[in-house]
A and B are shown apart, each in its own frame.
Chain A
Amino acid sequence: MITITINNKEIKLEKPVTVLEAARSAGIKIPTLCWHEQLEKYGGCRLCLVEIAKVPRLQTACTLMAADGMVVRTETEQIANVRRGILEFLLINHPLDCPYCDKAGECELQDLVEKYGPAKGRYKEKKRKVPESLEDPVIVRNMGRCIMCTRCVRMCRGLQGAAAIDVISRGGHSHIEPFSGGKYDCEYCGNCISVCPVGATMSRLHRHGYRPWQMVNETETICPYCGVGCTLIVQVRDDMIKRVVPRIGSVVNNGLLCTRGRFGYEFVGSKERLTKPLIRIAPKLSADSYQLTANLFREATWEEAISLVAKKLSEIKEKYGNSAIAGIASPRCTNEDNYIFQKFMRVALGTNNIDSAARTGFAGAQNFIENIFGQGATANIIPGLSNSDLVFVAGGDPTTVNPILGLQIRACSRNGGNILTIGNFKGIEYCSPQKLAPVLYTEDVLLEGIVTALKNKKGLSGANPKLEAKIKDISTSIEDVKNICKIKEKDFNEFLNILSESTNPSIVIGKETTQSNGASYHLLLLSAINYLINGRIYLLSDRANEQGLLDMGCAPDILPGYRPVSYMEFRRRYESIWKSEIPEKQGLTIFEMIDTARNGSLKAMYVMGENPAYNLPDSKSAESVLKNIEFLVVQDIFLTETGRLADVVLPALSWAEKDGTFTNMERRIQRVRKAVNREGMEDWRIISEIAKNMGEKFNYSNVEDIFNEICKASPLHKNLTYEDIEKGEGIYPYKGEPLRDVMEEIRFQFPGSRSQGSDGKLYLRVERPLFHSGTLSRKSSALMKIYPHAVARINDKTANMLALQNGEMVRVSSKKGSMELPVIIDDMVDSSYVMLTNNFEGKGAFSLLAYQIDPVTKAPIIADMEVSIIKGRLKK
């Protein structure tokens, strides 16, 4: 126990901390500029100087450790004089353009000068003048205002791990710059903006449009983008989002944000938002015929649109039976929306034909892993990654799919943990990972090799006989790994040594694995590795409520609480609560829906917040099916590719305009709160209105009613309340009962016949960029400015072979179609493939893809798609 006296107040300290931290813990404020609670100590600004009894000189409180018996004074005349002096120096070059500066009102320098002075400086020379840098689309740099506290540099290097900026030059010429000196070309997380104490680094989005004292309200909510579920503070004026900031201390992201969370909010206020229900008046054209949209629909009242939907759905149900209708739920909608959606499908329409885009990988993979390790096997705490001694990454770059989770991997590396990757991932390069990059489409051989070697090295414990039976069958020699995967024995052994010696490992699995040829086999191998090293699995999730929607039962085979629909016991439970019969027959997956609609037996579809005509592999074929379906309802916030094919389009409220809950990939339930007012209805309310119109009892007055019903009905969420969630008790396994006893045989399928990346052909892979998310990010102008259009990423060898320069237009073609776009030469890409995004209008990689379905995970296999690249545009 250390006892220290600060300003005559005795403070007892449990563990050694700095004088500054000790003072703060006792509520004594010491002024600081370079110090920031999240950052490494620096001791550069000298504002925290304090008097220590018996020490002749003033000391910096931020770096001095508190010692037993220390007597400290933080505010004396001498200290005030020194602080005034330091501030006078800082103001020599500071432009004092406060009336014009966006930081005014929340500027730490302004506040300190207001407190300590000086009112007037003695410096008579000219100030250093640095022009404002507007070269970047998102970040404005104003080095004239910079006080060289280097918080931004320490943030970028330390916490973000990107090291995109640094102090350039020295002395009076010092300034902070990205490498280029102009544009940042970085990850655009904007965390440098969060920590800047003055107006030197600021967001361009609210430039001259934001005065901190004019913010009408601040709402704490959850990010709408990926499955990490970061806490956001949304600041609003005139019902427009002016700024999004993080909160220090929030559980998942603790003061950090990524580019999508911080800069991606503009879609909410987009002029392209749907405002009124639309009813089709013209025949259906392809989704590309966007210019004709104005003539495709007429605006309708809510009453008309709702009764039309109710009537048509009832007719189709009557005429063709319950199974002729299907619904697609949304991983962007809240738990409450999704619960109501599946209840509507099951109760009002009497079908289990409910699925979502989670089927494209996450759902099947989770199901597979839970079947081996038990429910909740993937519900691991994200910040826990940084405490692992090893992170093993396969199938996707976590720093682009789930950026804040990616930061935890970087933190693990900083803490001395090892990072192992299967393949090249740009975002974790600076962790100097140990990499094994097998030839394209031979990953399973490498994984087999790892399992074989681990098994021989560590032996089997007998804890999971079901899995061990499968592991016993796996046997691949190092020779195969060398010959097929083209991996050096030395690299393999080094990798394996690190892997087998870890004591607290984590495994991160991305979509490229869950969509690979033999996805279920890949998952078996990764599960085997996880079992042999006794790790925990993180399954990357690119949508905010992908987990929640599954937990709400938006899947053809499960009821809320992840209870199998095939079990009578569970059906009875829900039947008694919903007072309605639940069909026993498993419904159709999203891909079966498309197939069934193609052969004509599926007549109507209700699509909520999803864009299957663009977001499904082989999207052109999905589009033509949706075009020909008898009745299509699309409920969304924008007129998407799918919306353009609809018979009725229902405008919903966006994430910022409604209350509810999201469940993140850790299975943590968090509150989404309304930040902005807008006329219209939430997704759940629209569906409830339709259900009521069909004669069902869907009487909910607010989301809490729904949440309470969920917590009554779902055994997993039993007795949970909004209060519990707010207290931070929304952490899996909640108060209810996870399902641990439904364990089926482990079924998997070996990869089918396949190509190998070494055959000289060019294959298509999907890039999952940091700056985009589905088609929503198209409507956020900041993200569009950072990553403005679709590109094809190729290797320099491929570029040389085709005589292509960076930025040149090419035509990429597969048997499914082709598109023109510029190439980017990217050294992280291999010469066996080309990478395309699936985010931009008319340029979706998925339109070039054919797919098969993995029989076990029911996820699409989108490997093996051969493409060709031709230089130049198509002659017209």
Chain B
Amino acid sequence: MLSEAAIKELNEIRQKYPDASAALLPALYIAQREFGYLGADAYEAVSNALGVPKAIARGVGTFYAMYKHKPMGRHVVQLCTNVSCMILGAEKLSDFLKNKYGLEPGGTTPDKRFSLVIMECIGACGTAPAMLLNDDFYENLTEKYIEEILEKYK
């Protein structure tokens, strides 16, 4: 079930589009935020709220790779490993996350605290390596700095 606030937000978004199916993408983001990922419950909730058949909601959602299609940890680390970040050691950082926290690319820690998503360029090449943690942006990463940052997210 979507929270009342989410349904309100969804209805507001709905007004900006000519028809319900056009509002699917932002609606799915809201559902993803509420449910943590897009699964059957999230699709059904969006379908009920927008009046778009649930199979279509799922068809649209599964088309896009940037939605989360499986359950995620409480905090999502999105690490860039594109050219600049890679040259400046992003792959080592990825190994560090694996060794230190058991966090593999695409995986989730056993305590469901973190999930790691390897993502493409986030436009921070000048201050690489960079990552997003939930909606927060971090740059000039080192192993020590990452450790400090992750400490802030329980």
Q: Are A167 and B51 touching (Cβ within 8 A)?
A: no
Convert A832-851 into 0s and 1s, putting 1 for each residue whose CB lies closer than 8 angstroms to a CB of B: 00000000000000000000
Q: Are A432 and B51 touching (Cβ within 8 A)?
A: yes
Convert A681-696 into 0s and 1s, putting 1 for each residue whose CB lies closer than 8 angstroms to a CB of B: 0000000000000000
Flag whether A377 is at the interface (Cβ < 8 A): no
Nearest neighbor of B53 in chain A, beta-carbon distance: A163
Flag whether B56 is at the interface (Cβ < 8 A): yes
Interface centre among B43, B51, B56 (most CB of A within 10 A): B56
Give the total of B residues in contact with A, Cβ under 8 Å.
12
- In the complex, A177 Cα to B63 Cα: how many Å? 13
A window 165-221: CB within 8 A of B: 165-170, 177-180
Report A370 CB to chain B, min CB distance, Å.
Answer: 39
Nearest neighbor of A162 in chain B, beta-carbon distance: B53
Residues of A within 8 A of B60 (CB): 166
- In the complex, A47 Cα to B63 Cα: how many Å? 25
Nearest neighbor of A430 in chain B, beta-carbon distance: B53
Flag whether B62 is at the interface (Cβ < 8 A): yes
Flag whether A157 is at the interface (Cβ < 8 A): yes
Report A135 CB to chain B, min CB distance, Å.
Answer: 15
Q: Is the interface of B mostly helix, strand, loop or mixed?
A: helix
B window 28-76: CB within 8 A of A: 40, 43, 51, 53-56, 58-60, 62-63
Flag whether A467 is at the interface (Cβ < 8 A): no
Q: Are B59 and A168 touching (Cβ within 8 A)?
A: yes
Q: Are A163 and B55 touching (Cβ within 8 A)?
A: yes
Nearest neighbor of A180 in chain B, beta-carbon distance: B40
Residues of B within 8 A of A179 (CB): 40, 43, 54-55, 58
Residues of B within 8 A of A422 (CB): none
Flag whether A164 is at the interface (Cβ < 8 A): yes
Q: Are B51 and A166 touching (Cβ within 8 A)?
A: no
Residues of A within 8 A of B56 (CB): 157, 163, 166
Nearest neighbor of A184 in chain B, beta-carbon distance: B55
Q: Are A164 and B62 touching (Cβ within 8 A)?
A: no
Nearest neighbor of A166 in chain B, beta-carbon distance: B59
Residues of A within 8 A of B53 (CB): 157, 162-164, 430
Q: Are B54 and A169 touching (Cβ within 8 A)?
A: no
Out of A157, A166, A170, A432, which one reaches B58, CB within 8 Å? A166
Q: Are B58 and A168 touching (Cβ within 8 A)?
A: yes
Report A157 CB to chain B, min CB distance, Å.
Answer: 7
Assuming the A-B contacts A157-B56, A163-B56, A179-B43, are A168 and B62 also in contact, with contact meaning beta carbons closer than 8 angstroms in the complex? yes
- In the complex, A356 Cα to B53 Cα: how many Å? 41
Give the total of A residues in contact with B, Cβ under 8 Å.
16
Convert B2-30 into 0s and 1s, putting 1 for each residue whose CB lies closer than 8 angstroms to a CB of A: 00000000000000000000000000000
- In the complex, A18 Cα to B17 Cα: how many Å? 31
Q: Are A169 and B62 touching (Cβ within 8 A)?
A: yes
B window 99-140: CB within 8 A of A: none
Residues of B within 8 A of A169 (CB): 62-63
Report B11 CB to chain A, min CB distance, Å.
Answer: 15
Residues of B within 8 A of A170 (CB): 62-63
Out of B40, B43, B59, which one reaches A167, CB within 8 Å? B59
Report B92 CB to chain A, min CB distance, Å.
Answer: 31
Residues of B within 8 A of A430 (CB): 51, 53
Report B122 CB to chain A, min CB distance, Å.
Answer: 23
Interface centre among B51, B53, B60 (most CB of A within 10 A): B53
Nearest neighbor of A164 in chain B, beta-carbon distance: B55
Residues of A within 8 A of B51 (CB): 430, 432
Residues of A within 8 A of B63 (CB): 167, 169-170
Report B60 CB to chain A, min CB distance, Å.
Answer: 8
Nearest neighbor of A429 in chain B, beta-carbon distance: B51
Nearest neighbor of B59 in chain A, beta-carbon distance: A166
Report A470 CB to chain B, min CB distance, Å.
Answer: 39
- In the complex, A620 Cα to B43 Cα: how many Å? 46
Convert A144-172 into 0s and 1s, putting 1 for each residue whose CB lies closer than 8 angstroms to a CB of B: 00000000000001000011111111100
- In the complex, A168 Cα to B59 Cα: how many Å? 5
Out of B40, B55, B62, which one reaches A165, CB within 8 Å? B55
Report B140 CB to chain A, min CB distance, Å.
Answer: 35
Residues of A within 8 A of B43 (CB): 179
Report A557 CB to chain B, min CB distance, Å.
Answer: 47
Residues of B within 8 A of A177 (CB): 55
Residues of B within 8 A of A180 (CB): 40
Report A188 CB to chain B, min CB distance, Å.
Answer: 14
Residues of A within 8 A of B54 (CB): 179
Report B98 CB to chain A, min CB distance, Å.
Answer: 26
Nearest neighbor of B51 in chain A, beta-carbon distance: A432
- In the complex, A826 Cα to B16 Cα: how many Å? 32
Report A571 CB to chain B, min CB distance, Å.
Answer: 57
Nearest neighbor of A175 in chain B, beta-carbon distance: B62
Residues of B within 8 A of A164 (CB): 53, 55
Residues of A within 8 A of B62 (CB): 168-170
- In the complex, A680 Cα to B60 Cα: how many Å? 56
Interface centre among A157, A167, A178, A432 (most CB of B within 10 A): A167
Report A392 CB to chain B, min CB distance, Å.
Answer: 21
Residues of A within 8 A of B58 (CB): 166, 168, 179
Report A603 CB to chain B, min CB distance, Å.
Answer: 57
Report B13 CB to chain A, min CB distance, Å.
Answer: 18
B window 73-104: CB within 8 A of A: none
Nearest neighbor of A165 in chain B, beta-carbon distance: B55
- In the complex, A430 Cα to B59 Cα: how many Å? 17
- In the complex, A167 Cα to B63 Cα: how many Å? 8
- In the complex, A165 Cα to B55 Cα: how many Å? 6
- In the complex, A466 Cα to B51 Cα: how many Å? 44
- In the complex, A39 Cα to B55 Cα: how many Å? 19
Residues of A within 8 A of B55 (CB): 163-166, 177-179
Residues of A within 8 A of B40 (CB): 179-180
Report B47 CB to chain A, min CB distance, Å.
Answer: 9
Nearest neighbor of A163 in chain B, beta-carbon distance: B53
Convert A667-691 into 0s and 1s, putting 1 for each residue whose CB lies closer than 8 angstroms to a CB of B: 0000000000000000000000000
Report B113 CB to chain A, min CB distance, Å.
Answer: 29
Nearest neighbor of A169 in chain B, beta-carbon distance: B62
Nearest neighbor of A168 in chain B, beta-carbon distance: B62
Nearest neighbor of A156 in chain B, beta-carbon distance: B55
Nearest neighbor of A153 in chain B, beta-carbon distance: B59
Nearest neighbor of B69 in chain A, beta-carbon distance: A169
Report B56 CB to chain A, min CB distance, Å.
Answer: 5
- In the complex, A178 Cα to B54 Cα: how many Å? 9
- In the complex, A678 Cα to B35 Cα: how many Å? 59
- In the complex, A49 Cα to B40 Cα: how many Å? 39
Report A136 CB to chain B, min CB distance, Å.
Answer: 14
- In the complex, A180 Cα to B44 Cα: how many Å? 11
- In the complex, A430 Cα to B60 Cα: how many Å? 18
Residues of B within 8 A of A178 (CB): 55
- In the complex, A432 Cα to B50 Cα: how many Å? 11
- In the complex, A157 Cα to B53 Cα: how many Å? 9
Residues of B within 8 A of A165 (CB): 55
Report A187 CB to chain B, min CB distance, Å.
Answer: 12
- In the complex, A178 Cα to B56 Cα: how many Å? 10
Residues of B within 8 A of A162 (CB): 53
Report B9 CB to chain A, min CB distance, Å.
Answer: 21
- In the complex, A168 Cα to B43 Cα: how many Å? 13
20 A/B residue pairs, CB under 8 Å, sorted by A: A157-B53, A157-B56, A163-B53, A163-B56, A164-B53, A165-B55, A166-B56, A166-B59, A166-B60, A167-B59, A168-B58, A168-B62, A177-B55, A178-B55, A179-B43, A179-B55, A179-B58, A180-B40, A430-B51, A430-B53
* Besides A164-B55, A169-B62, A170-B62, 8 other A-B contacts (C-beta < 8 A): A157-B53, A157-B56, A163-B53, A165-B55, A167-B63, A169-B63, A430-B51, A432-B51
- Interface residues in chain A, defined as those with a beta carbon under 8 Å from any beta carbon in chain B: 157, 162-170, 177-180, 430, 432
A-B pairs, top 9 by smallest CB distance, nearest first, are A166-B59, A163-B53, A179-B55, A166-B55, A168-B62, A170-B63, A169-B62, A179-B54, A166-B56
